[in-house]
């Protein structure tokens, strides 16, 4: 029986995110300084306002409100890893299988209500209630498919922002050049003004490639990891309902902890998509 007092492993700080941002900014600003420039050359509040404000406005116009709110919440998944280690989940599933094998499926009812993972709790309760295995699979696969689709939609919010930001940066540069044209009589001011004007382009390309697009990719990676967990849960519950020996269930589920599980998860995701399409 799983230890309910065990601390959840999820929610750990993802230091790679902070290290990656620091490395990228350090390399870019370091290169600027080595070329004889100054950090003050690119520290333009006006350019930042145009790029960030314009990009956020474009995203708000192009994205449904519910999806936008969901995308903002998913940003926490970039800072913290919400997906607990899959090895712990495997051991938890084996514990449930062992208990069901010894004392029957009904004995899992109390244990199932204490499961931390809502998806796992739902699957166990369906098994305890005596639902048909085909129906259990259909319901869980449908939920997993919907959640994966939602994550993809929310990741596209940041992909969209990554596309808008460089264009908004160009708009900022053009606005700066307009101001430069007003001072053509002063050639010294023209050179300085052109340099300042192009800072908006740097901001647009930078925020796109250092923040928006990487965030979108990490959200997709988190969604893939969560899908892998859900597929493992579905296969584990199927084994429990079928009354398989816990050792056989372990052999089956250990594929998810090895390096070749990605193809299995991809195939399972395709099967889920096909099942949803058939039901539609």
Q: Are residues 205 and 258 in the same domain?
A: yes
Given this model, what pLDDT does residue 4 score? Answer: 42
In sequence order, which residues have a C-beta less than 8 Å from that of residue 33 and are 6 or more positions away?
Answer: 39
- Distance CA(217)–CA(213), nearest Å, equals 6
The DSSP symbol for 7 reads: P
Average pLDDT, the chain: 83
Average pLDDT over residues 80-87: 80
pLDDT in tens, 192-219: 677 778 889 999 999 999 999 999 999 9
In sequence order, which residues have a C-beta less than 8 Å from that of residue 181 and are 6 or more positions away?
Answer: none
pLDDT in tens, 157-178: 999 999 999 999 999 999 888 8
Q: Is 6 among the domain residues?
A: no
Given this model, what pLDDT does residue 266 score? Answer: 47
Q: Exposed, middle or buried: residue 198 (CB in 10 Å: 0-12, 13-18, 19+)?
A: middle
Q: Is the pLDDT of residue 75 over 60?
A: yes
Q: Is 60 among the domain residues?
A: yes
pLDDT in tens, 229-255: 999 999 999 999 998 899 999 998 988
Average pLDDT over residues 110-133: 87
Q: Are residues 35 and 52 in the same domain?
A: no
The residue that leads in pLDDT, 55 or 7, is 55
Given this model, what pLDDT does residue 86 score? Answer: 86
Q: Are residues 48 and 33 in the same domain?
A: no
Domains in the chain, number: 2
Other CB atoms within 10 Å distance of the CB of residue 151 = 21
156 — pLDDT class (breaks 50, 70, 90): very high
Structural domain of 235:
44-279
Instruction: Give the pair of three-digit tokens for residue 186.
Output: 């002063």
Q: Are residues 25 and 152 in the same domain?
A: no
- Distance CA(160)–CA(158), nearest Å, equals 5
Look at the pTM and tell me if it is higher than 0.95. Answer: no
Instruction: Give the pair of three-digit tokens for residue 73.
Output: 């919440």
Q: Are residues 33 and 50 in the same domain?
A: no
- Distance CA(105)–CA(97), nearest Å, equals 9
Contact 253, 90 (CB under 8 A): yes
Q: Is the pLDDT of residue 1 over 60?
A: no
Instruction: Give the pair of three-digit tokens for residue 234.
Output: 């579905």
Q: Are residues 29 and 111 in the same domain?
A: no
Q: Is 118 among the domain residues?
A: yes
Q: Is 3 among the domain residues?
A: no
Contact 249, 99 (CB under 8 A): no
259 — pLDDT class (breaks 50, 70, 90): low
* Residue given tokens 């048909």 in the structure block: 132
Q: Are residues 177 and 121 in the same domain?
A: yes
Other CB atoms within 10 Å distance of the CB of residue 181 = 9
High-pLDDT (> 90) share of the chain, %: 43
The DSSP symbol for 63 reads: S
Q: Are residues 225 and 168 in the same domain?
A: yes
Contact 246, 218 (CB under 8 A): no
């Amino acid at each position: 029986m799983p230890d309910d007092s065990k601390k959840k492993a999820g929610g750990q700080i993802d230091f790679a995110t902070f290290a990656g941002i620091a490395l990228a900014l350090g390399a870019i600003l370091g290169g600027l300084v080595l070329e004889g420039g100054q950090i003050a050359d690119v520290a333009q509040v006006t350019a930042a306002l145009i790029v960030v404000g314009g990009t956020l406005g474009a995203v708000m116009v192009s994205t449904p409100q519910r999806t936008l709110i969901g995308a903002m919440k998913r940003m926490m998944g970039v800072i913290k890893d919400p997906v607990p280690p899959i090895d712990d989940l495997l051991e938890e599933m084996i514990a449930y299988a062992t208990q069901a094998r010894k004392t029957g499926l009904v004995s899992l009812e109390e244990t199932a209500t204490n499961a931390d993972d809502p998806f796992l709790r739902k699957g166990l309760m369906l098994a305890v209630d005596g639902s048909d295995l085909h129906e259990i699979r259909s319901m869980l696969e449908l939920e997993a498919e919907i959640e994966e689709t939602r994550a993809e939609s929310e990741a596209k919010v940041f992909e969209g922002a990554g596309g808008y930001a460089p264009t908004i940066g160009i708009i900022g540069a053009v606005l700066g050049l307009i101001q430069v044209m007003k001072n053509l009589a002063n050639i010294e001011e023209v050179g300085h003004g052109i340099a300042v004007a192009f800072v908006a382009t740097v901001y647009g390309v930078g925020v796109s490639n250092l923040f928006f697009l990487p965030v979108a990719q990490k959200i997709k990676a988190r969604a893939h990891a969560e899908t892998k967990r859900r597929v493992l849960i579905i296969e584990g519950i199927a084994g429990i309902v079928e009354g398989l020996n816990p050792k056989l269930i372990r052999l089956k589920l250990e594929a998810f902890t090895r390096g070749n599980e990605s193809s299995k998860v991809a195939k399972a995701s395709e099967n889920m998509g096909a099942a949803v399409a058939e039901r539609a």
